[in-house]
Amino acid sequence: MQPYLCRLATVGILGLSLAACVTPPLDPEAPTLLEKSEVAEDLEMLPAPKGRIMASVYSFRDLTGQYRPAPSSSFSTAVTQGAAAFLIDALNRSGWFLTLEREGLQDLLTERKIARAVVEKRQKTGQAVPDVPDLFSSDILFQGGIVAYETNLKTGGLGARYLGVGASEQYRTDQVTVNLRAVDVRTGRIINTVSTRKTIYSKELQVGVYRYIDFKELLESEAGVTTNEPVQQCVKLAIEAAVAHLIVKGVMDGNWQLQNPDDMGAEVIQQYSAAFGN
CATH number of the domain that residue 70 is part of: 3.40.50.10610
What's the pLDDT band for 62 if we cut at 50, 70, 90? confident
Q: How confident is the model at residue 33 (pLDDT cuts 50, 70, 90)?
A: confident
Looking at the predicted structure, is the pLDDT value of residue 5 above 50? no
Question: Taking 50 as the threshold, does the pLDDT of residue 4 lie above it?
Answer: no
Q: How far apart are CA 37 and CA 89, in angstroms?
A: 13
What confidence tier does 73 reach under pLDDT thresholds 50, 70, 90?
low
Strands 140-162, 97-100: pairing is: unpaired
Fill in the amino acid letter for 230: P
Direct distance between the N- and C-terminal alpha carbons of the chain, in angstroms, rounded to an integer: 77
Task: Please give the Cα distance from 46 to 246 (Å, whole number).
Answer: 12
Mean pLDDT of the chain: 84
* Nearest one of 226, 205, 208 to 14, comparing CA atoms: 208
What type of residue sits at position 28? P
| 126, part of any domain | no
pTM score above 0.85: no
Position 26 scores a pLDDT of 61
* pLDDT value at 7 more than 60: no
Range of the domain at 50: 38-102+138-273
Nearest alpha carbon to residue 100 among 63, 62, 52? 52
Q: Is residue 18 part of a domain?
A: no
Let me know: does 227 contact 26? Beta carbons within 8 Å: no
Kindly report the length of the chain.
278
Query: Does 6 fall in a domain?
Result: no
By CB atoms closer than 10 A (0-12, 13-18, 19+), residue 172 is middle
What share of the chain in percent tops pLDDT 90? 46
> Higher pLDDT residue, 207 or 210?
207
Q: Check whether 13 has a pLDDT greater than 90.
A: no
Would residue 142 count as lying in a domain? Answer: yes
Instruction: Over range 187-212, report the average pLDDT.
Output: 87
- The answer to whether residue 12 is domain-embedded is no
Residues 6+ apart with CB under 8 A from 183: 140, 141, 142, 143, 189, 190, 191
Number of domains in the chain: 1
Contact at 8 Å (CB) between 243 and 57? no
Any domain includes 167: yes
Contacts of 105 (CB under 8 A, 6+ apart): 58
Query: Would you tell me the crossing angle of helices 231-253 and 38-45 to the nearest 10 degrees?
Result: 30
pLDDT the model gives residue 1: 45
Give the model confidence (pLDDT) of 96-140 as tens digits. 999 999 989 999 999 999 999 999 999 888 888 888 899 999 999
- Residue 11 — very low, low, confident or very high, per pLDDT cuts 50/70/90? very low
Residue 67 lies in a domain: yes
- Minimum mean pLDDT among 174-183, 204-213, 256-265: which range? 204-213
Q: Report whether pLDDT(32) > 70.
A: yes
- Report CA Rg, the chain: 28
In a domain, 15, yes or no: no
Beta strands 53-57 and 140-162: pairing type? parallel
pLDDT at 34 > cutoff 90? no
Residue pLDDT, tens place only, 242-254: 999 999 999 999 8
Res 275: pLDDT:
85
